[in-house]
């Protein structure tokens, strides 16, 4: 299935480049008046009026191929059997963190014996600055 997917991607890129090239090669509607007075378009490969029909038909065919390749890509990606949901970070192995040591443990004693928390007196509140407005 991967080789088919790659083939459709290549077809889509080539058709997109063909559309870009064909659109850039076509002359606009304003160039028809200049071609009527012999500005060099009448000496082109397909003649004065022939290039318009050939180019527009070729652009239409390239657009149809691009549209079909886009539909094929959407079908292939939605019907893959090995769809993996999630991102790159979901594929990393799970790492377990070590249990944190108790903060009030006495050094040299087993972890099960924990020293009682010492109740420290509350620090006095700092006086308000002189230029502050009381609430």
CB contact set of 54 (below 8 Å; sequence gap of 6+):
46
**68-126 pLDDT, tens digit each:** 999 999 999 888 766 556 677 777 788 887 877 667 756 666 655 555 555 555 666 66
Question: How many other β-carbons are positioned within 10 Å of the β-carbon of residue 32?
Answer: 13
Query: What does the domain layout of the chain look like in residue ranges?
Result: 1-25+55-81
pLDDT value, residue 131? 72
pLDDT value, residue 59? 93
pLDDT value, residue 90? 75
Question: Distance (Å, rounded) from C-alpha 5 to C-alpha 67?
Answer: 15
Q: What's the token pair of residue 134?
A: 């009381």
Task: Determine contact, residues 73/8, Cβ cutoff 8 Å.
Answer: yes
**30-55 pLDDT, tens digit each:** 665 555 565 555 455 555 555 568 88
């Amino acid at each position: 299935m991967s080789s088919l997917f790659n083939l459709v991607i290549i077809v889509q890129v080539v058709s997109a480049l063909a559309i870009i090239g064909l659109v850039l090669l076509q002359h606009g509607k304003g160039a028809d008046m200049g071609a009527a007075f012999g500005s060099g378009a009448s000496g082109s490969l397909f003649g004065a009026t022939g290039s318009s029909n050939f180019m527009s038909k070729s652009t239409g065919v390239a657009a149809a191929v691009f549209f079909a390749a886009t539909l094929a890509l959407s079908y292939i990606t939605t019907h893959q059997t090995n769809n993996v949901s999630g991102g790159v970070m979901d594929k990393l192995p799970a790492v377990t963190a070590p249990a944190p040591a108790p903060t009030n443990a006495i050094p040299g004693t087993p972890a099960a014996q924990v020293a009682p928390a010492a109740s420290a007196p509350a620090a006095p509140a700092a006086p308000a600055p002189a230029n502050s407005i009381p609430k």
